[in-house]
Amino acid sequence: MAILDRIREPRDLDALTIAECEQLAAEIREFLIAAVSRTGGHLGPNLGVVELTIALHRVFQSPRDPIVFDTGHQSYVHKLLTGRRDFSALRSRGGLAGYPQRSESVHDIVESSHASSSLSWADGISRAFARRAQSDPSQQHRHVVAVVGDGALTGGMTWEALNNITDDNDRNLVLVVNDNGRSYAPTIGGMARFLNSVRSKGAYRDLQEGSEKLFSRLGTPGRTVYRAARGAMRGLASRASDNQDLYSNLDIKYLGPVDGHDLHAVEEVLRQAKGYGRPTLVHVITEKGRGYAPAENDVADQFHAIGQIDPGSGEPVEAVTGRSWTSVFRERIVELADADERIIGITAAMLVPTGLDALAARHPGRVIDVGIAEQHAVTSAAGLAYGGLHPVVAVYATFMNRAFDQLLMDVALHRAGVTFVLDRAGITGPDGASHNGVWDLATLQVVPGIRIAAPRDAATLSEALAEAVAIDDGPTVLRYPKGAVGADITALRRLDDGVDVLHESAADGGGQRDVLFVAVGPMAVVAIDAAQRLEAAGITTTVIDPRWVVPVAGSVVAEAERHRLVITIEDGIRVGGVGTRIRQAMRDAGVDTAVSELGTPDEFPDHASRGQLLADAGLTADRIAASVSEQVRGTRVPVARPHERS
């Protein structure tokens, strides 16, 4: 019987020997490679934390001792050790989430997959435990553990937390820095250089290299003796490294660096940290993609996040077909930068995923990677604009939430010409609630002077990006979803203020039509389909694409006045969305046409496919056509599907 099959909950680990734990680590890697290659997911990060996670659960008593992962994509091993073995539908509806999720297990504490927040969580939890323990003996001796990737240390929130953690030492708090030299890609900045200097110091390097050579030459009995000796050596190295330069200035106990794949060493240092009774930082060095050659050899991201792959070769099972939205941006930003030396890219540790890698390759020195520090990225961009450049800040839409204040007060208030490119906007799907970018339209449009574009296809993305970087008197935003971009949708005509008419029925004698669809970005495909279904049922329609959805173009209001019903369709939340903005513009102009705003509900979308989540929100052509038909005629009438038309 495999050791993994005997692990139903963390305390099943207690009876295992170190040798059995090492065998368990090998089994877990085999399981992860086989399972994640079928579903896709974050493979590299989890291969790197196998021994560390085993040691954490042997030393601490989860969930009594909460373990907070930062970021949560490194929690697959944690899921396995807490009884979740069915990875067959990982990141799909009904299956395991790709991040910690409280509804799955009492062992999952923090669900957000955004980085740099774990130390603040741990600070708050440990303060609560310490306070409650004063009057409740059952709360005594509880520990809190934060596992923070070295990339997350580039976020300012981490340092705000450290400042407060070291202000009150009377609590049981262990901070584990999982240092693999990478976030998505190699970690950058001064913190990365500091950690690299620690890894490179003679004591750790010599011990690492020498012990590996010796171990390879020993037989089985000698290896058993060696493990015990090596553990003692690691402990001495940890104690000798107490209060490393940086952390001593913060008045926090420091242990490390420790080889994160040496179970005995990791357990020993964690037990040391547990026994101090004060905040302690444990520096653990791991290898992303450990034990899987295709991941270890992947220079770009070491299989950080993968689709379905062949587990033997690591090659994708199916070739990617069609252009992605990101690739369109990647190509166009280089063209624009070739023609305009003022353009400079900014990324927050997401150079390749956001498509700025091509610009960095073409124009070295014109892309700045600030690490996981979106707030700094935005205010720095304001400074770049003041200095005469035009920054293009490319981030995932959901991460833009973190820098709202900087956009409002540093960019917009100062009328700085900064372009924000929001990848993964709207419904994104399998990565779950914290990665679905459904809030950007509702939150960003309240910023005075902002201009927001939502391209419907590759052509309008390229066009809007060129228009955006030409604007220097305020912020511009370009937002688009994840995945394939699809075919271009040619407009019937463009109105004087840039609004595209994509579809229209013949008007009645008074020049009116029944329904005006205002489509936001990629929802144009759905709007046209719904309009054609209604037209087949005798209901006249028009479909327009504003392209720039904020501010509301005058022709949108004019078109609304010529229709009996306006339907706005967006893949962001309805509350405060573009539909609400259009309704306000119509009211201001005295246009009383009825408006129905379609969008996603004000809920956190669970992990599922984009299609499933759009269907849940009623954002499919057949659902929209049936609902609109009922509104127009007062009763539901059959609406022919496209393939049923003669």
pLDDT band for position 512 (cuts 50, 70, 90)? confident
Dihedrals φ, ψ of 307, to 5°? Answer: -90, -160
State the chain's maximal CA–CA distance in angstroms.
96
CATH number of the domain enclosing 540? 3.40.50.920
CATH number of the domain enclosing 357? 3.40.50.970
pLDDT band for position 243 (cuts 50, 70, 90)? very low
For the cut 90, the answer to whether the pLDDT of residue 285 exceeds it is: yes
Is 141 labelled a binding residue? no
- The verdict on 275 and 387 lying in the same domain is no
Is 113 labelled a binding residue? yes
Overall pTM > 0.85: yes
Which amino acid, residue 614? Answer: L
Is 643 labelled a binding residue? no
Active site residues: 288, 374, 402
Q: Is 574 or 188 the better-scoring residue by pLDDT?
A: 574
- What is the pLDDT averaged over residues 295-319? 84
Is 180 labelled a binding residue? yes
Tens digit of pLDDT for each residue in 135-155? 898 888 999 999 998 788 888
- The verdict on 339 and 282 lying in the same domain is no
Is residue 470 in a domain? yes
- The verdict on 282 and 396 lying in the same domain is no
Is residue 315 in a domain? no
Strands (E), 304-376: 343-347, 367-369
Tens digit of pLDDT for each residue in 208-217? 555 455 445 5
Is 431 labelled a binding residue? no
Alpha-carbon distances, residue 553 vs 479, 498, 559, 587 (angstroms): 18, 8, 10, 14
pLDDT band for position 370 (cuts 50, 70, 90)? very high
Asked if residues 49 and 286 have their Cβ atoms less than 8 Å apart, the reply is yes
Most confident of 242-246, 426-430, 591-595: 591-595
Give the strands of the sheet with 144-149, arranged side by side: 67-70, 144-149, 173-179, 280-285, 253-259
**Cα torsion 474, 570, 541, 545: sign:** positive
| pLDDT at residue number 190 | 66
pLDDT band for position 46 (cuts 50, 70, 90)? very high
Between 144-158, 410-424, 551-565, the lowest mean confidence (pLDDT) is in 144-158
Dihedrals φ, ψ of 389, to 5°? Answer: -100, 170
Asked if residues 112 and 399 have their Cβ atoms less than 8 Å apart, the reply is no
- The verdict on 264 and 374 lying in the same domain is no
Is residue 320 in a domain? no
Asked if residues 172 and 143 have their Cβ atoms less than 8 Å apart, the reply is yes
For the cut 90, the answer to whether the pLDDT of residue 400 exceeds it is: yes
- The verdict on 377 and 422 lying in the same domain is yes
Mean pLDDT of all residues belonging to the chain: 89
Tell me which residue range forms the domain holding 342.
Answer: 325-479
- What is the pLDDT averaged over residues 160-167? 89
- What is the pLDDT averaged over residues 381-387? 98
User: Quick one: tokens of 288?
Assistant: 């992303």
pLDDT band for position 226 (cuts 50, 70, 90)? very low
pLDDT band for position 481 (cuts 50, 70, 90)? very high
Number of domains forming the structure of the chain: 3
Which amino acid, residue 357? Answer: D
For the cut 70, the answer to whether the pLDDT of residue 515 exceeds it is: yes
- The verdict on 278 and 378 lying in the same domain is no
- The verdict on 18 and 163 lying in the same domain is yes
Q: Which of 479, 504, 538 is the last residue of a domain?
A: 479
Is 374 labelled a binding residue? yes
Is 151 labelled a binding residue? yes
Dihedrals φ, ψ of 432, to 5°? Answer: 90, -170
> 218-224 long-range contacts, Cβ below 8 Å, gap at least 24?
224/19
β-pairing, 451-453 vs 476-479, is: parallel
Q: In sequence order, what are the residues at sequence separation of 6 or more whose Cβ sits closer than 8 angstroms to the Cβ of residue 201?
A: none
pLDDT band for position 235 (cuts 50, 70, 90)? very low
Between 110-114, 186-190, 200-204, the lowest mean confidence (pLDDT) is in 200-204
Tens digit of pLDDT for each residue in 9-44? 999 999 999 999 999 999 999 999 999 999 999 999
- DSSP helix/strand/coil, 89: coil
Which runs of consecutive H residues, i.e. helices, occur in 476-620?
A: 524-536, 554-561, 578-588, 610-616
Q: Which helix (H) or strand (E) holds 210?
A: helix 202-217
Is 553 labelled a binding residue? no
Is residue 302 in a domain? no
pLDDT band for position 87 (cuts 50, 70, 90)? very high
Between 1-5, 314-318, 350-354, the lowest mean confidence (pLDDT) is in 314-318
Alpha-carbon distances, residue 110 vs 54, 120, 147 (angstroms): 19, 11, 12
Between 227-231, 325-329, 362-366, 415-419, the lowest mean confidence (pLDDT) is in 227-231
Tens digit of pLDDT for each residue in 556-609? 999 999 999 999 999 999 999 999 999 999 999 999 999 999 999 999 988 999
